[in-house]
Amino acid sequence: MKKVVFLLTLIPALGSLFVINRVEPYVLGLPFVLFWAICWVGLTSMFLIIANKLDPANKEEEEL
Amino acid sequence: MNAALLVILFFLGLCIWLGLQARKGKEMNMEQWSVGGRGFGSLLMFFLLAGEMFTTYTFLGASGGAYRSGMPPALYAFNCFYFVIAYWLLPPVWKYAKENKVLSQSDFYEKKYNSQALGILVAIISVVAVIPYLVMQLKGLGIIVSEASYGSISPHMAIVVAVIAVTIYVTVSGMHGAAWTAIIKDILILAVMVFMGFYFPFHYYGGIGPMFEAIDTAKTGFLLFPEQGLSISWFVSATIMTALAFYMFPHMMAGIFSAKSGKSLRINAGIMPIYQVIIVFSLIIGFSGVLQVPDLNGPDTDLALFKMAKLSFDPWFVGVIGAAGAMAALIPSSLVLTAVSTILSKNIYKAWKPNTTDQELAKLAKRFVPVIALVTLFFTFNGGESILTLYLMSYSFMVQLFPALFFSLWKRNPVTVQGAFAGMIVGSIIVIYSTITEMSLATLFPSFPNVIKDLDLGLAVLIINIAVTLGVSVVTKKSAARVDDDTTISNLV
């Protein structure tokens, strides 16, 4: 599960731009490619926080 | 003396005062000075690591990049890949550092590979890599202050004053000083950027949407990745390279070591991307300049933000922007200075004179601060490189330390000391050579398809580095196994 969440965070860095490289449609006034990148800022954050919740390493540390 | 200048001086004074206050109630031993006693929680860590992220590059570079070349450098400026790497890489590094009382990034390599020589090599590479980084910050600062003072202060003068200021408070407060000034700086930058990011598009174009539409009409393709040059393959490779190099910097490692727990680092990695939103505003500011101040060329494009500000605001507010920008240069510089001085005293001087006591080392580290500051000043005044060139040079060097660190975190480290040495040296030599000769994959292989030609050279060198590291390791591992019994191998290296 943790790995799945992690793989999702790789989408914006690796390759999705080949498909997304376009100006139209404008979203919130932003060209689509910029909007897409901004979305991933939020999504990366979310996925990392979820991964952190699922991370067994946190429990280990509390026990130490 | 104008209003802008007074505002900048006020904030500079505030920074120094805060830096000096931060040391109160703490005995400044080496661990306090260089890694803040390893007691920074999530919140302070957040500001500290963010303080290292948002530098003059973000302030001038991102807006200037958007202004100059449109979308590719804009998206590159706020990639989140750093934090994905950070999430997985940093906690184990922190854990090892804590268990082994590691203070600097070279310590880490020295202890992991049980080789003082490797520690020294890492220290040397870091110092070399950090100089262009500091030069970049100072150049940016010179531009910012001289612009914000409407030319009444020359860039050289501004740089000299800034170097003195930063030297004082780094010497006195080390890591503590940086952490507290980072908070002030972040609040100021956030306020200034958000305000300008909305003000410019609405004032000059009637909204963010109309602004982008106007740019798209005036300059077709400006808002897209081109087929070649700054293409998507450039973006992907440069993103990966900088993300891997990012945490190799001695000051970033010191930042990591000052965390309280692995968990605070993971949370930090999770919330840092939100911080990137500031850069979006920087980009919008840059884009807003495209049709308003269209005459900037070459290195002047980095001034897009200030040209826009001066066109639109009263001097005192230009001063506030200048102060935010100056702090964006000062805080990272102070962190870098702290980290490099720690390395110089602990990993290079101590290797040379092993029976130096910790107290002497702490004193020595502080004495290295002005020395490095002077060396940086020399290069700042004598080099002609642009901010982006300096940035990429520094990162290409730093990324050469990645393979040895990465493999050392494996349960069974496949890399030997010799392998780590060979990889780092070969990598660094290629970087130096390619920087001097301005080599790139496009000049090496002109007939290759663009997908390959546009790849970032730093990443290509990293791949060579990994190959050399692993290759040499396989060879030396065999011979090491043979002499394993008398354990002479660890004495040899």
Output the pLDDT for position B484.
44
Confidence of residue B491 (pLDDT cuts 50, 70, 90): very low
Write out residues 5-44 of A within 8 Å (CB-CB) of B. 6, 9-10, 12-15, 17-18, 21-23, 26, 28-31, 33-34, 37-38, 40-42, 44
Give dist(CA B164, CA B255) in Å, integer: 23
What is residue A64's predicted lDDT score, i.e. its pLDDT? Answer: 44
Instruction: Give percent of chain B above pLDDT 70.
Output: 82
- Residue in A with minimal Cα distance to B205: A29
Across the interface, which of B80, B87, B236 has its CB nearest the CB of A41? B80
Q: Domain locations in chain A?
A: 2-56
Lowest mean pLDDT among B125-129, B263-267, B317-321, B470-474: B263-267
Rounded average pLDDT over B268-284: 80
Among A12, A17, A41, beta carbon nearest to B225: A17
- Among chain B residues, the shortest Cα distance to A40 is held by B80
What total of structural domains would you count in chain B? 1
CA distance B168 to B297: 37
CATH of the domain at B28: 1.20.1730.10
Q: Which domain holds residue B141?
A: 3-393
Which residues fall within 8 angstroms of residue B347, CB to CB, at 6 or more apart?
B104, B106, B107, B110, B119, B120, B122, B123
Residue B280, min C-alpha distance to chain A (Å): 8
Spatial contact of B370 and B172, defined as CB atoms under 8 Å apart: no
Q: Which residue of B has its CA nearest to A22?
A: B224
| Residue B348 located in a structural domain | yes
Residues of A in contact with B71 (CB under 8 A): 31, 33-34
The interface pTM score, or ipTM, of the predicted complex is 0.78
A16 chain-B contacts, CB cut-off 8 A: none
Q: Where is pLDDT greater, at B174 or A28?
A: A28
pLDDT tens for B420-437 read 888 888 888 888 887 777
- CA nearest to B106, candidates B331, B350, B332, B269: B350
B101 vs B111: CA distance, rounded Å: 10
Place of tokens 């398809």: B449
The rounded distance, in Å, linking the Cα atoms of B45 and B431 is 32
Least confident of A12-26, A47-61, B11-25, B75-89: A12-26
- Confidence (pLDDT) at A13: 55
CB atoms inside a 10 Å sphere around CB B490:
11
| Rounded distance between C-alpha atoms, residue B39 and residue B98, angstroms | 11
The whole-angstrom separation of Cα B428 and Cα B3 is 46
The vertex-A38 CA angle with A30 and B458, nearest 5°, equals 115
Q: Confidence band (pLDDT; 50, 70, 90) for B31? A: low
Q: What is the pLDDT of residues A8-61, one digit of tens each?
A: 666 655 656 666 666 677 777 778 777 877 877 787 788 878 877 776 666 555
Q: How far is A54 from chain B (nearest CA, A)?
A: 12
DSSP string, B105-162: HHHHHHHHTT-HHHHHHHHHHHHHHHHHHHHHHHHHHHHHHHHHTTTSS-HHHHHHHH
Closest partner residue to B263 among A38, A48, A61, by Cβ? A61
pLDDT of residue B488: 41
* Residues of A whose CB is below 8 A from B87: 48, 51-52
Q: What is the pLDDT of residue B435?
A: 73
pLDDT at B1 over 70: no
| C-alpha distances out from residue B401 to B104, B108, B257, B426, B491, Å | 14, 11, 17, 11, 23
> Which residues from chain A sit within 8 angstroms of residue B263, using beta carbons?
52, 57-58, 61
The label of the residue with tokens 């740089």 reads B159
| pLDDT range class, residue B490, cuts 50, 70, 90 | very low
A61 interfaces chain B, CB cutoff of 8 Å: yes
Query: At B56, is the secondary structure helix, strand, or coil?
Result: helix
Percent of the residues in chain B that have a pLDDT greater than 90, as a whole number:
0
Question: Per the domain annotation, does B434 fall within a domain?
Answer: no
Helix segments in B383-456, DSSP class H: 387-398, 402-408, 417-437, 441-444, 450-453
Q: Is B54 a domain residue?
A: yes
Indicate the residue of A13, A15, A57 with minimum beta-carbon distance to B262. A57
Residue B487 has pLDDT above 60, yes or no: no
Q: How many angstroms away from the CA of B478 is the closest CA of chain A?
A: 34
pLDDT at B482 over 70: no
pLDDT tens digits along B182-217? 777 878 888 888 898 888 888 888 888 888 888 878
Residue B164: pLDDT above 80?
yes
Task: Provide the mean pLDDT of chain B.
Answer: 77
Cβ pair A13:B240 closer than 8 A: yes
pLDDT band at B45 (very low <50, low <70, confident <90, very high): low
- Cβ <8 Å between B80 and A45: yes
Whether residue B446 is contained in a domain is answered as no
What is the rounded average pLDDT of the residues B276-297?
81
Is B230 within a domain? yes
Nearest to B232 among A17, A51, A57 (CB): A17
What number is the average pLDDT over the span B133-148?
82
Residue B485 has pLDDT above 50, yes or no: no
CA B191 to each of CA B8, B46, B289, B318: distance values in angstroms, whole numbers, following the listed order: 16, 18, 19, 13
Q: What Rg do the C-alpha atoms of chain A give, in angstroms?
A: 16
Q: Residue B36 domain-assigned?
A: yes
